[in-house]
Amino acid sequence: MENLKQSILELITDTSTNLPPDVRRAVNAAKVKEDLGTRAALSLSTIAQNVVMAEENVSPICQDTGMPTFEVKTPVGVNQLIIKQAIKEMIAEATKTGKLRSNSVDSLTGENTGDNLGPGTPVIHFEQWEEDEIEIKLILKGGGCENKNIQYSLPCELEGLGKVGRNLDGIRKCILHAVYQAQGQGCSAGFIGVGIGGDRTSGYALAKHQLFRKVEDVNQNADLAALEDYIMETANQLGIGTMGFGGNSTLLGCKIGVENRLPASFFVSVAYNCWAFRRQGVRLNPETGEILRYLYKDEEVAMDLTPVAATDDAGEKRREVVLEAPISEEQIRSLRVGDVVIINGEMHTGRDALHSYLMDHDCPVDLNGGIIYHCGPVMLKDQEGEWHVKAAGPTTSIREEPYQGEIIKKFGIRAVIGKGGMGAKTLKALNEHGAVYLNAIGGAAQYYAECLEKVEGVDFMEFGIPEAMWHLRVKGFAAIVTMDSHGNSLHADVEKSSAEKLAQFAAPVFK
Ligand SMILES: O=C(O)C[C@H](O)C(=O)O
Ligand code: SF4
């Protein structure tokens, strides 16, 4: 097994940096479906560019390289302990070289282990099989989309859809609801794996396992094949769109599996995966560990890089406003939902640990007129001790909803950048203080890393790399105003309109 470690490292690197062809085809098709010039089309254009950059730079497509989850099949007689050890070593190695973000955190203390190893990380499932080769599959599913997973216990009642029975039609309602409740927060357009049955644990495992099916794969169960088709057709009518900006591409794939259940239980479990659907697999020679072939590389698919002009709904070119901190209240009040903002100068990252800390502590830097970026980057230090940004897209902002409004006011912040939008409390604070919420394109970690020209400093390294407060100098960082200081929220609008559309699918479809 002299090649085993190298093969595993290659698999991890490829999964993190090179989007598989079936996913590329789906993202390209989504772009064609969006109306030219819309926010959704613009986002897909950035996403396509980002995919190309990640492959070229051999750097993470998204900074959140997720919970590494391996499914390993071995012929009888192969020592699984050796494979487990090799996986762990190569996970640590890939973390050291910035192919993975250090993502394993002690649940109680919040301490980051720094090498992606720890109790429960990585996840490795072993199985024996009759074939002669070793198969290793890997999925890197990020935290933001994982947070949008949902499990339904039937029968139940769902807002807008009414009673949900223990039958195919009830399952249909659950899946539509699952897509609706994710809105743009899991970096739509997404892919879902659904597990029908099992218990609470095996149901979710089944759902996640469905994500290993190819996007074009047709379900062998005719009922489920019909349901998958129906969901693809219908979910895309909800109007959530890429990043939740509204639009025609909300869902790029739906795969449904079924297992037996207990008489008393009926679970429908849904695993939501962002567009940055990173999964790959290899077949290995059982003697040498050398890669024989990849499982998800049927052809080379180039990303569609056709440029998209930024126009508003009336076809007018979108207003572009350049901002540089410190930003004045007047500048902020002139911004409206839909404006494109280009940021130069200084910004600071901050996510969960920082927001909670700032509630009752001072900030080491002056944030008056400043910009906070909800981002947990991948960082590498060079030999001179200087930090470099390797991947740095936004994280889901709604997690900061309990803190954000107060923090904006306490420190005089004028702009918050993130993705997926924020709630009513933040919207109120934006209005009262004079601040904006800017939506960056989730998952576009290479695209944004290139705008982050210099790391000026860092505070709170004790929170771990993703949670630390990085002080960055940026150039040409583009984002869209999705919540302004006049009480407008694109997110609230899309949520409302998609809820109305969801309710149109309440009537039974399947027997
Ligand atoms: O943790 C991150 O950087 C992003 C996360 O996957 C998210 O979608 O919020
Ligand atoms: S930031 Fe978006 S693209 Fe990245 S892992 Fe989270 S949900 Fe996926």
CA of 240 to the centre of ligand 1 (A): 19
Domains of the chain, earliest start first: 1-142+279-307 (no CATH), 143-275 (no CATH), 320-490 (3.20.130.10)
142 lines ligand 1 (CB under 6 A): yes
**Residues in the chain, overall count:** 511
Tell me which of 35 and 465 has the higher pLDDT.
465
Q: State the average pLDDT for the chain.
A: 96
Percent of the chain residues past pLDDT 90, beyond the cut: 95
d(CA 160, CA 139): 33
Q: Which residue has its alpha carbon closest to ligand 1 atom 4?
A: 395
Question: Which atom of ligand 1 lies at the shortest distance from residue 142's CA?
Answer: 6
Q: What is the pLDDT of residue 35?
A: 80
ipTM over 0.90: yes
450 — pLDDT class (breaks 50, 70, 90):
very high
d(CA 444, CA 62): 6
Over residues 246-267, mean pLDDT:
97
33 — pLDDT class (breaks 50, 70, 90):
confident
Q: Which of 444, 448, 504 is nearest to 235 (CA)?
A: 504
Ligand nearest to the CA of 351: 1
Over residues 347-375, mean pLDDT:
98
Distances (CA, A) of 17 to 62, 185, 390: 8, 22, 12
In DSSP terms, which residues pair with 128 in a beta bridge?
Answer: 74
Q: What is the pLDDT of residue 316?
A: 64
Q: What is the pLDDT of residue 315?
A: 61
In DSSP terms, which residues pair with 459 in a beta bridge?
Answer: 469
Q: What is the pLDDT of residue 313?
A: 56
36 — pLDDT class (breaks 50, 70, 90):
confident
Question: Which atom of ligand 2 lies at the shortest distance from residue 185's CA?
Answer: 7
Where are the extended beta strands (E) located within 298-377? Answer: 320-324, 340-349, 371-373
CA of 47 to the centre of ligand 2 (A): 12
| From 395, 401, 419, 441, mutation site for ligand 1 pocket: most ligand atoms within 8 A of C-beta | 395
pLDDT tens, residue by residue, 266-325: 999 999 999 999 999 999 999 999 999 999 999 999 999 988 766 665 566 678 899 999
Percent of the chain residues past pLDDT 70, beyond the cut: 98
Question: Which atom of ligand 2 lies at the shortest distance from residue 145's CA?
Answer: 7
391 lines ligand 2 (CB under 6 A): no
pLDDT tens, residue by residue, 107-164: 999 999 999 999 999 999 999 999 999 999 999 999 999 999 999 999 999 999 999 9
| From 62, 103, 349, mutation site for ligand 2 pocket: most ligand atoms within 8 A of C-beta | 62
Q: Which residue has its alpha carbon closest to ligand 2 atom 4?
A: 443
d(CA 483, CA 506): 31
pLDDT higher than 70, residue 345: yes
Q: Which residue has its alpha carbon closest to ligand 2 atom 5?
A: 142
Q: What is the pLDDT of residue 40?
A: 87
Q: What is the pLDDT of residue 423?
A: 97
Over residues 11-27, mean pLDDT:
98
| From 47, 61, 63, mutation site for ligand 1 pocket: most ligand atoms within 8 A of C-beta | 63
Q: What is the pLDDT of residue 306?
A: 87
CA of 33 to the centre of ligand 2 (A): 22
Three-state DSSP state, 375: coil
pLDDT tens, residue by residue, 165-193: 999 999 999 999 999 999 999 999 999 99
Q: What is the pLDDT of residue 310?
A: 65
Do 65 and 121 contact (CB within 8 A), yes or no?
no
How many Cα atoms within 13 Å fall on the side-chain side of residue 445?
Answer: 32
404 — pLDDT class (breaks 50, 70, 90):
very high
pLDDT higher than 80, residue 34: yes
CA of 448 to the centre of ligand 1 (A): 14
CA of 282 to the centre of ligand 1 (A): 27
Q: What is the pLDDT of residue 311?
A: 65
Q: Look-up: residue for tokens 């499914």? A: 71
Q: Look-up: residue for tokens 């008489």? A: 263
Three-state DSSP state, 196: strand
Q: Which residue has its alpha carbon closest to ligand 2 atom 6?
A: 144
CA of 17 to the centre of ligand 2 (A): 14
